[in-house]
A and B are shown apart, each in its own frame.
Chain A
Amino acid sequence: MGQTIAQKILAAHSGNDAVEVGQIVTVTPDYVLSHDNTAAISKKFEKLPIERVKNPEQPVIVLDHTVPPSTAQYANNHKQIREFVEKNGIVHFYDVGRGICHQVLVEEGFAFPGALILGADSHTTTYGALGAASAGIGRSEVAAVWATGEMWLMVPPSVKIIVHGELPRGVASKDLMLWIIGHIGADGALYKSIEFYGEAIEKMSLSSRMVLSNMAVEAGAKFGIVPPDEKVDEFLKGRATREYEKVFADPDAEYEQTLEFNADEVVPVVAAPHNVDNMVKISDLDEVRVNQVLIGSCTNGRTEDFHMAAEILAGRKVAPGTRLLLFPASSRVLMDILLDGTAQKLVEAGAILMNPGCGPCLGAHEGVLADGEVCVSTTNRNFKGRMGNKNAFIYLASPYTAAAAAVAGKIVDPREFLD
């Protein structure tokens, strides 16, 4: 019986030739990620009768959630993390300012084809875009990996999503992913590994593929894997932390389901409040006035996302009464958009350029909403209260749609502003 990508990667990391769907395996992940929650995890860890982290090369710790800290308590958490890193000789530590963990791990070459990465963050699925199997786990689990180097996982069933055709102009991979989640639902891939295939995916940049893998978890998926190609090799040249071999599914691998979509049919959409699967075509929306626009996050805070925004915002102005916040996903992205002039165009249009980090995506700081306010956001969750106020409304959208909302002061089809 053939094996899926998920099966092959889990077999390779559990010392098996092959594994079966539903089998529980003990794996040794290549890396285990944690962020500001390292403070709480280290408290759990320090209660164990264990001196030190077993393999100090395995953890990757990135401070990104509340950076720079907004309260004394967050600041103390960061301080405690630095002390923990020092005490345990943790090799891979990125302090405040480097960026969002998922972007940093990719840029630093920790994510590569065939890798198994677990992390105390649900969007750990992002690395699937480079052909890795990666999933979010809980805090106790991270502490256990620190202690033992290992973790149990159930081998998930796989679902194949094939996207034919090509996305039309002004339609981004974010629209496609909201489209897919809108069709299959927030639990449409619960516990499953998604493998993405098709012409539309092959044509996409790695940054665009990262949107799909990142948001696979919003359909409940365990992994969201894109079979690696030469674009991945090119990106990882001189960057990958290890030598790797690309992992592909066998031709006779077994999939629980195959879903097909046509990219040519996708139009600009939003996920309307308060569920990610509440997909609505912009053409079907009543007028929605917008108070704040956020472009950033581990979903859409990369250089190409700011380029999309600049296509619409350059030479135009943010509407009065609307705030536009930009959060580059990393210091690398920030440097890119500074050097190529994109940042200048956006700031001239009236944008507020913030520091690399998660920003207000999870409601902690740097752009919390007022009662009754509407935010159009390129982030990944629109749950009630997600951005710090349960009386506010979040619409998830592509960078094109977000930029167009900033110019118009309301949600409009971004293609109105594109040539």
Chain B
Amino acid sequence: MEDKIRGRVWVIRDKDGNPINDIDTDMIFHNKHLAITDIKEMGKYAFGNLEGWEDFPQKAKAGDILIVGENFGAGSSRQQAVDCFIALGIQAIVGESFGAIYFRNCVNAGLPIMVAPGIAHSPVQSGDEIEIDTTTGRIYDITQGIELPPAKPLTDVQRKIIDAGGLLELAVKMR
């Protein structure tokens, strides 16, 4: 994993500008697409069941970063809810807190994910360019020239898995 991740952000808020909490895996990747097993096919359904964000797959571009609210990815263990963002090229996810299985799924899929309490309530706006220092957790909003609430640094094991590109890749390396 890069020590510094830089990219454009999408802040997942409702139309009144409040963070959307408890976004469950059915809102991220709806159960009607469960028969799909090819990750490349999953991107176009990301947020397909999240009011106001249905057009996200058309708006997102590779390298973008997601900023989310509390308990993001609650619900099922559905890994498609992570894989759909990987298919779109999302570079990292930063949020107030995450569903426990969701957090693991991200790490194990090699997608950097960080907990930054306060971030969804900070002045950061969709479209801003931010820089995340993954070693210290510092998050800087380049567009607005301000510090954002910092993230908790990842543990060594989590870094190792993400560095390897995912858990399976690490398992193969360590064999």
Contacts and interface: CB of A to CB of B under 8 A. Distances in A.
Interface of A: 24, 39-40, 43-44, 47-50, 65, 71, 73-74, 77, 119-122, 124, 135-141, 143-144, 147-148, 152, 154, 186-187, 190-191, 220-222, 275, 362-364, 381, 383-386, 388, 390
B26 A141 contact: no
A187 B70 CA distance: 8
Contacts of B74: 186-187, 220
B79 interface: yes
B105 interface: yes
Contacts of B32: 363-364, 385, 388
Nearest to A387: B31
Interface in B23-66: 24, 26-27, 30-32, 34-35, 37, 49
13 contacts: A119-B77, A137-B101, A138-B79, A141-B108, A148-B174, A154-B155, A187-B71, A187-B74, A190-B99, A363-B32, A364-B32, A383-B26, A386-B31
Contacts of A364: 31-32, 34
Interface string B140-175: 000000000000000101000100001110011011
A254 B97 CA distance: 23
Contacts of A191: 100
B82 interface: yes
Q: Which 3 A-B pairs have the closest CB atoms?
A: A138-B105, A187-B71, A136-B77
Given A364-B34, A385-B27, 5 more contacts: A147-B168, A187-B97, A275-B22, A385-B30, A388-B32
Category for how many chain B residues contact A: 35 or more
A383 B27 contact: yes
A275 B105 CA distance: 22
A361 to B, nearest CB: 10
B12 to A, nearest CB: 16
Nearest to B105: A138
A65 B31 CA distance: 11
A144 B82 CA distance: 17
B71 A190 contact: yes
Contacts of B27: 383-385
B34 to A, nearest CB: 7
B118 interface: no
A83 to B, nearest CB: 15
Given A43-B37, A77-B37, A383-B26, A138 B171 contact: no
A120 B97 contact: no
Contacts of B84: none
